[in-house]
Amino acid sequence: MAYIERRRVHDADAHIMEPPNWLRDHADPDIRDRLVVPQYANELVQTGDAAAGESLVPDDLTAVFQRLAERHRSEEFLADEATEVMNRKNFAATGSFIAEDRPRVLDYIGVDSQLLFNTFHNSRLFEWEHPINGKPVDLDLAYGAARAHNRGMTDFCSVDERLLATCYVPLADFDRAEAMATESIEMGAAALLVASGCPAGHSPSHRSLDRVWRQAEEAGIPVVFHVGGTGALIDPSYFNNGLPIPPDFHGGEENFRSVDYMAIPFPPMQTLATMIFDGVLERHPNLRVGVIEQGCTWLPSWLKQMESAMDAFGRHEERLRDLSITPGEYVQRQVRVTPYPTEDIGWVTDQVGPDILLFNTDYPHVEGGRRPFERFERSLGDRSDDIRDRFYADNFIDLMGSAVGALV
């Protein structure tokens, strides 16, 4: 018996857990040694392979992952794998880092597909395409790291057509962005992942980036944003309050807490509004945009704020007069958004309509919770089967286009 028993369910946000050498293993030789191995100690706390705050060197990590892989193959682990699929998190979860195990996860959860993202590299990919400490962007590193990421994602997803890979496209350089989009699509990308924030030195709505959006539109795949790809969300001084910094979901200090949680939607709100006002969605009416793991409660007020901007500036800005429909109509037609399980999706649906929100589990992350389906169901309450069908499947199918064509 699967965790979710519905006729059709698609998971719009799930993750792989990249082992320490994952990016380097997929990188070209000329940049491999420039990719520093990240520290994973906090994510390993739940497996019992690290203590909170412990710093593990690469040799330690190699031994840890060998033990983890052996544990995932043990009779004890496999015996209750199906019943524990939503309870085991991060590296302790089935299929979190062993690709051939992941198809069982979809069967155990009861989903028809999963759109997969990385766990540890969004912020690093964002930083590499922006100046660091006043130094100019190293485009070879930025695009080489993105290529390594994309190889790793498509390689993991190649074991099952239901696993849908996101491939990162840095927008720092127009020509390289165009080439990376082409390469990603040829590689098998189900979606092009871009930073939620502004590229370095130009707007995400710059006309020269139409070459990226056009390729996604013609390929019938979406462009997606994901949390974690914007650098620091808020000024770190907000945490200088005379109190200890509270631990995050993983027991460490590098993730989200209540204060920076409040800023998560700001980058996609600004980026999407800019793209709408500057006519990106007007010029590319078949382009779909997914806003993933950045919440949904902001949607009603954001739509109203764009209406207000149109009222205030519509007579004076030619770009606004050139729009053929309202900002809200662009969103209804082309933008899809994943909620957090703690949000009231019933209320948001009542405000913005049933065509925008997407079911997701955030598997295998702690933030997704152990019972996201039950939480979403409680929030939907007595709303119709049609609204539920759109939330659990139809809106995702609309977002993903050709990427899920064979699965529908």
What would the mean pLDDT of 33-59 be, rounded to a whole number? 59
pLDDT over threshold 50, residue 356: yes
Question: Can you tell me the distance from the alpha carbon of 240 to that of 246, in angstroms, rounded to the nearest whole number?
Answer: 12
pLDDT over threshold 70, residue 50: no
pLDDT, residue 116, reads 98
Concatenated DSSP letters for 304-332?
A: HHHHHHHHHHTTT-HHHHT-SS-HHHHHH
Confidence at 377, pLDDT banded by 50, 70, 90: very high
Q: Which tokens hold the place of 43?
A: 């994510």
pLDDT over threshold 80, residue 51: no
pLDDT, residue 333, reads 98
Question: Which of 9-13, 120-124, 227-231 has the weakest average pLDDT?
Answer: 227-231
Q: Which tokens hold the place of 157?
A: 């997803």
- 183-184-185-191 Cα dihedral, nearest 10 degrees: -160
Question: Can you tell me the distance from the alpha carbon of 113 to that of 259, in angstroms, rounded to the nearest whole number?
Answer: 33
Collapse the DSSP code of 15 into the 3-class scheme (helix H, G, I; strand E, B; otherwise coil) and give the result: strand
Task: Write phi, then psi, for 191 (nearest 5 degrees).
Answer: -160, 150
pLDDT over threshold 60, residue 46: no
Question: Can you tell me the distance from the alpha carbon of 321 to that of 310, in angstroms, rounded to the nearest whole number?
Answer: 9
pLDDT over threshold 60, residue 312: yes
User: pTM score, two decimals?
Assistant: 0.94
pLDDT, residue 53, reads 47
Task: Write phi, then psi, for 289 (nearest 5 degrees).
Answer: -125, 125
Going from N- to C-terminal start, the domains of the chain cover 10-17+81-407
Looking up tokens 């990226």 gives 212
pLDDT, residue 243, reads 83
Confidence at 406, pLDDT banded by 50, 70, 90: confident
Question: Can you tell me the distance from the alpha carbon of 182 to that of 399, in angstroms, rounded to the nearest whole number?
Answer: 20
Question: Can you tell me the distance from the alpha carbon of 237 to that of 140, in angstroms, rounded to the nearest whole number?
Answer: 33
Task: Write phi, then psi, for 113 (nearest 5 degrees).
Answer: -160, 165
Average pLDDT for the chain: 91
pLDDT over threshold 60, residue 294: yes
pLDDT, one tens digit per residue, over 13-37 is: 999 999 888 999 999 999 998 987 6
CA nearest neighbour of 336 among 351, 355, 350: 355
Collapse the DSSP code of 379 into the 3-class scheme (helix H, G, I; strand E, B; otherwise coil) and give the result: helix
pLDDT, residue 44, reads 59
pLDDT, residue 252, reads 47
Percentage of residues in the chain having pLDDT higher than 90: 77
Looking up tokens 């709303």 gives 383
pLDDT over threshold 70, residue 57: no
pLDDT over threshold 90, residue 355: yes
Class of residue 317 by CB neighbours under 10 A (exposed 0-12, middle 13-18, buried 19+)? middle
Element (H, E) at 176: helix 174-187
What would the mean pLDDT of 251-274 be, rounded to a whole number? 82
Question: Can you tell me the distance from the alpha carbon of 227 to that of 250, in angstroms, rounded to the nearest whole number?
Answer: 16
Confidence at 52, pLDDT banded by 50, 70, 90: very low
Concatenated DSSP letters for 214-259?
A: HHHHHHT--EEEETT-SS-SS-GGGG-SSSPPPP-TTSSSSS--HH
Q: CATH number of 10-17+81-407: 1.10.630.10, 3.90.580.10, 3.20.20.140, 3.30.70.890?
A: 3.20.20.140
Residue 114: C-alpha distances to residues 20, 65, 103, 163, 306 (Å): 23, 24, 10, 5, 32
pLDDT, residue 39, reads 59
pLDDT, one tens digit per residue, over 125-178 is: 999 999 988 889 999 999 999 999 999 999 999 999 999 999 999 999 999 999
pLDDT, one tens digit per residue, over 210-253 is: 999 999 999 999 999 999 878 778 778 888 888 887 766 554 44
Confidence at 399, pLDDT banded by 50, 70, 90: very high
Concatenated DSSP letters for 91-138?
A: GGSTTSS-GGGHHHHHHHHT-SEEEEE-SS-HHHHHHHTS-BTTBPP-
Rounded to a whole number, what is the distance in angstroms from the first to the last CA of the chain? 22
Residue 201: C-alpha distances to residues 44, 171, 269 (Å): 38, 10, 19
Distance of CA 209 to the CA centre of its chain: 21
User: Quick check: 166 and 195 in contact, CB under 8 A?
Assistant: no
Concatenated DSSP letters for 362-377?
A: -BT-GGG-S-HHHHHH
| Percent composition of the chain: helix, strand, coil (DSSP 3-state, to 5) | 50, 10, 45
